[in-house]
Amino acid sequence: MAAVIVVLVILVIVLIFLFSAIKVAREYERGVVFRLGRLLAVKGPGLYLLIPIIDKAVKVDLRTVTLNVPPQEVITRDNVTVKVDAVVYFRVLESDKAIIQVENFLVATSQIAQTTLRSVCGQVDLDHLLSERDQINERLQKIIDDQTAPWGIKVSVVEVKNVELPTNMQRAIARQAEAERERRAKIIAADGELQASEKLAQAGHVIAAEPTTLQLRYLQTMNEMSAQGSTTIIIPIPIDVLEPFIGARGRAASRDGGTPSEPVAAPSPPVSSEPVAAPSPPVPAEP
């Protein structure tokens, strides 16, 4: 019975030894092994062995980490207070440096991202912050990557997510945008008037060179008016249409030797040179 107990104890010790000695690292993981406090090697992926009590392994994830930077209150260069938040994408390239060079690389990267975000956004104007996001993102990425490179961390992308403006500044920007839209509308209307006047001037030159085009345009307008189904149609007759008739009448009058356009005066009665006697008063009849 005692031998069986001893065997069972030995089996339990061996199992505990195996469980503590055999480690498995996934494809995206690495095991940083320390032996008696000294860096031994970086193990993985796959199966690797440790000496219990003597060796200790720290697993590091090599996948890209998405780090949300909390909103930071920033005063821009033109003295406007805004709240800016961002997101940082990074991954560990050297597992041993990420464990040895910094206590907690996640917290350290987050703190550097916050301070860099406040510093960079405070060096630009509000208009630049709102319109030139790409330049600001590139600058943030370069600064954070340079600071985290000694830790074996590669910062691939930094994106500014949201810029929260004060209420009064939002109203001012809305008024500015409205004024800009009105300015563009007036410019477009003025350009349209200019183009229309140029086209009208060209049409006037064509009509002056070919008077027939005016009559064709008149007939086209009459056709469009008749298609509307209106019961009353006012027909304007341009003077150019009547010019052939006026000219024909003038030629006929010149052949007859008169001018029919001038009215003929009525003959005045003859004037006598003898004095006219005044009429005598009536004689009353006798009773």
H helix runs in 43-122, sequence order? 95-100, 105-121
Among all chains, which residue has been given the structure tokens 């104890």?
Answer: 9
- Largest pairwise CA distance in the chain: 199
Q: Choose one of 128, 148, 165: the last residue of a domain.
A: 165
Task: Examine the domain organization and report whether 80 and 123 are in the same domain.
Answer: yes
Task: Examine the domain organization and report whether 113 and 44 are in the same domain.
Answer: no
Which residue type is seen at 252?
A: A
Task: Examine the domain organization and report whether 69 and 119 are in the same domain.
Answer: yes
pLDDT value for 270: 47
pTM across the whole model: 0.61
H helix runs in the chain, sequence order? 2-21, 95-100, 105-121, 126-131, 133-148, 167-209, 212-226, 239-256
Residue 122: domain span:
65-165
Q: Choose one of 165, 183, 198: the last residue of a domain.
A: 165
Q: Which residues of 23-62 are buried (b: 16+ CB within 10 A; e: fewer)?
A: bebeeebbbbbbeeeeebebbbeeebebeeeebbbeebeb
Domain membership of residue 243 (yes or no) is no
Task: Examine the domain organization and report whether 123 and 101 are in the same domain.
Answer: yes
Domain membership of residue 92 (yes or no) is yes
Question: What does the alpha-carbon distance between residue 105 and residue 97 come to, in Å, rounded to a whole number?
Answer: 10
Q: How far does CA 14 lie from the centroid of its chain?
A: 69
pLDDT value for 208: 76
Domain membership of residue 83 (yes or no) is yes
Task: Examine the domain organization and report whether 40 and 109 are in the same domain.
Answer: no
Q: Per-residue pLDDT for the chain (287 aa), expressed as one digit of tens each?
A: 777 888 888 888 888 887 888 888 999 999 999 999 899 999 989 888 888 888 899 999 999 999 999 999 999 998 889 999 999 999 999 999 999 999 999 999 999 999 999 999 999 998 899 888 999 999 999 999 999 999 999 999 999 999 988 888 778 888 888 898 899 999 999 999 899 888 888 877 877 777 777 677 777 777 776 666 655 666 666 666 666 667 666 666 676 665 444 444 444 444 444 444 444 445 444 43
pLDDT value for 105: 93
Task: Examine the domain organization and report whether 104 and 143 are in the same domain.
Answer: yes
CATH number for the domain including 120?
3.30.479.30
Q: Is 101 exposed, middle or buried (CB count within 10 Å of its CB: 0-12, 13-18, 19+)?
A: middle
Question: What does the alpha-carbon distance between residue 79 and residue 167 come to, in Å, rounded to a whole number?
Answer: 15
How many domains are there within the chain?
2
Domain membership of residue 40 (yes or no) is yes
Instruction: Give the CA-trace dihedral at 148, 154, 155, 156, to 10 degrees.
Output: 160
